[in-house]
Chain A
Amino acid sequence: MPILEVHALSKSYRQAGGETTVAIGNITCQVEAGEFVSFVGPSGCGKTTLLMSIAGLLAPSAGRVVVNGKEVSGPPPNLVLLFQEYNKSLFAWRSVLGNVRFGLDARGAGSASADTKARALIELVGLKGFEKHYPWELSGGMQQRVAIARALAYEPQVLLMDEPFGSLDALTRLELEDTLLRLWAELKTTILFITHDIEEAIYLSDRIWVLSGRPSEIIQELIIDFSRPRDQVTTRADARFMELRNDIYRQIGGKSAP
């Protein structure tokens, strides 16, 4: 059974002037446990709304989401959403360790075990030694790693990531892509990833769904079967890589939503 199912999800908003904007038109898809899948679409096509609806933080206007066989009507206990603005999502009053532990503490895990798990993940993301630092003392890339560590320490079955590397510089982005893949392989989480960076999506994913502009719908599904572990040089050098990239680009490139 797929771990995540989305059935005919749609979401619309009533604007201040009385008009209705349809952010998500009609999304139906399924994700198997352990997969790494990505949504790629032009900016403004409602990707964040989509993730927040799947994560149970927004109620859909129509359709439903099923996680692990249970219908979603609020934040599901085994699913975590990682926000794009990581600096606004970290708790300024908690240290790195305190932040990474947050989900575990919230769940009621014992203090010692929460501590151990958190420290393990801090080391896994390469931030060993920074446990006592506060978020404001860290660079953007480091903050994002804290956010990722926090999400993964919670050991969710499904991890939703909203353009997590969008506001980082190019080199940091590549580094974090590999870190993420490494973590994903080790922890065997299911990851649903959103990005506007086509090449990033191809590099990371098993499957890609291409979204149209608003109201968004899936206009294409692509299976990415490059071998794992992926490599920044060899995988991207594959001829197929560019073909896929161009294919997707033709569908969504240069079309920003109004």
Chain B
Amino acid sequence: MRAAKINGLLFLLGLLAVWELVAQAEWVNPLIVPPLSKILRIFSELIFSGQIPLQILVSMKRAAAGYFLAAAVFIPLGVFMGLSPTVYRLFEVIVEMLRPVPPPVVIPVALLFFGLGDEMKIFVIFFSCAWPILLNTLDGVRSIDWVLLNTARTFGLPRRKIIWQVILPACAPQIATGLRVSLPIMLILVVISEMVGSTDGIGYFVLDSQRRFKVAQMYAGMLALAILGYTLNQLFNLIHRLVLPWQWGMMKRKDEG
């Protein structure tokens, strides 16, 4: 296992070295593919000057707002729809009508309603994260085994307590999946919404750099986005492990076994 990782690392370093050499020798147009060293230099400059962290903060504020708003609305909705067939049928058609809309297409609507501000992006992210969160929550509630519910009943637990003490913990793993899947969606949509209608944020930064032909800066921005995506993933995993330790153990064993 270790050997494979070292292989991969060496190969990657090799690729990066080739990039550097090819760019330095100007075998490719340096205006399009600048040397790696230049990109990294500009990247660290932008980090230390606070430019990139600032843009990331701006973007993340919007992203987080939309993400958590979606969670706050659609997890409870998913639970209600999962528990009550009446509620489910009531909303089913509306959900099925809105689902096939590719999230970016909602951006013009958001522009219409909210102009170029933060609310526009928050709305877009809210809409985009809705479906994975809703559908996974729904799935989680509906796949709770009747044995589990009846066990709670036989111990005399009243309905309201069953929802909080049994149903929610039981579908927590599936809710976590929905939240996990929505994370990259959130990131993608904040970038898109900034490219289409914004004057700040990391997505805008990358596009703007390209427009001004500050190519190394553009790549630096992309690098920042990659790191951001990676960090968010790790953060999510950490929280996942803390909140749902039992499922974490189960998943790990599945992967190893």
Contact = CB atoms under 8 A, between A and B. Distances in A.
Contact of B169 (A57, A85, A93, A154): A93
Chain A contact residues: over half helix, strand or loop, or mixed? mixed
B49 interface: no
Interface string A109-143: 00000000000000000000000001111000000
Which of A77, A91, A93 has most B Cβ within 10 Å? A93
Contacts of B145: 85, 88
A231 B227 CA distance: 67
Contacts of B27: none
Given A77-B156, A136-B250, A136-B253, A89 B244 contact: no
A148 interface: no
Contacts of A102: 155
Q: How large is the interface on B (under 10, 10 to 19, 20 to 34, 35 or more residues)?
A: 20 to 34
Contacts of B247: 92-93
Nearest to A78: B156
Contacts of A103: 155-156
B249 A107 contact: no
A55 B155 CA distance: 10
Nearest to B150: A57
B154 A80 contact: yes
Contacts of B165: 106
Contacts of B153: 57, 75
B244 A93 contact: yes
Contact of B249 (A81, A134, A154): A134
B166 interface: yes
A154 B156 CA distance: 10
A146 interface: no
B154 A88 contact: no
A165 interface: no
Interface string B132-154: 00000000000001011011111
12 contacts: A57-B150, A75-B156, A91-B169, A92-B170, A92-B247, A103-B155, A103-B156, A106-B156, A106-B165, A134-B245, A136-B249, A154-B155
